Homo-oligomer: A and B are copies of this chain.
């Protein structure tokens, strides 16, 4: 019976997507979070193609050890976080503030720390919901750290890209509500973090804002640097904006301000200022906690499986990493990145 259910779940949801990639990876399983009434297989739907392979040994009663591998739940990271500030309130809402000066750029070490803590928060019973925000004024995150991609170090670039993939998988399969409080500019990788959340509230700009140039902006603007957003984020962009509008915005690297982004569907709500954005995020976290959590999680999971499928297997993640590694090292891409970094430097000298 168990196998039937497992297969069923995979098949049913499989028509929306196919498999929840995250749940195939032992380290991403949030086992302790799954409500007790759910049959064991529901907690970890397997990739369609693998279900049989995993289950087949049951039939002759052998090798069942493979099929029933028990995975360790994530452990609390032992080190004090370097790039994050983490606080949990009395209602179990945990605020994860990104705090990597000067602009929360996303490096290998940043992703590793964020991923480790998110896995722990996903499993830890004290935490009921997570709010992602920034400890740095006027910026949510500036996106990938260009030091990782300009003249990349061969020994880091693969691990860097895989840590980015893992962040995406963790956020999109997170078993608890996860709200983005966007209190600053959020281009490229910053926008991708926000897209992995269940709700996005964005502040309009700095409090004393009288200059429309200082209004916060959000969007996948990779093309402006000669890069392309990861293929596995494009469906999410299309899900938020509609496919053709997403395509045009990707081509041109558009980054709308909060009011426009809300109208387009890229964010859910606009706040007058940073403080209000944080306040709204706490309210929304409580709202997402007010419905039965097992049903809420299943509904979300079924809607996102299709695109998580793009990173469902080691093979796919490796292909994607190999592709990015080659692409980013092409002279054309490096020339564009170099030019951009030179412009940044000459601007900061003034």
Contact = CB atoms under 8 A, between A and B. Distances in A.
Interface of A: 1, 4-5, 7-9, 11-13, 15-16, 35-39, 42, 198-199, 222-229, 231-232, 234-236, 238-240, 242-248, 250-253, 265, 268, 287-288, 291-292, 294-296, 298-300, 302-304, 307, 309-310, 316, 319-320, 322-323, 326-327, 330-336
A164 to B, nearest CB: 14
Nearest to A246: B303
Contact of A295 (B198, B226, B248, B292): B226
B11 A226 contact: no
A239 B234 CA distance: 13
A242 B235 CA distance: 12
Given A250-B303, A268-B248, A295-B226, A231 B15 contact: yes
A8 B223 contact: no
B322 A8 contact: yes
A299 B330 contact: no
Nearest to A243: B239
Contacts of A319: 4, 7-8, 11-12
The 3 A-B pairs of least Cβ separation, nearest first, read A37-B332, A15-B310, A37-B330
Contacts of A294: 226, 332
A37 B329 CA distance: 9
Given A37-B332, A238-B303, A223 B12 contact: no
18 contacts: A5-B323, A12-B323, A15-B309, A35-B332, A36-B331, A36-B332, A222-B295, A222-B299, A226-B292, A228-B295, A228-B298, A239-B247, A244-B303, A251-B288, A251-B291, A251-B299, A252-B296, A253-B291
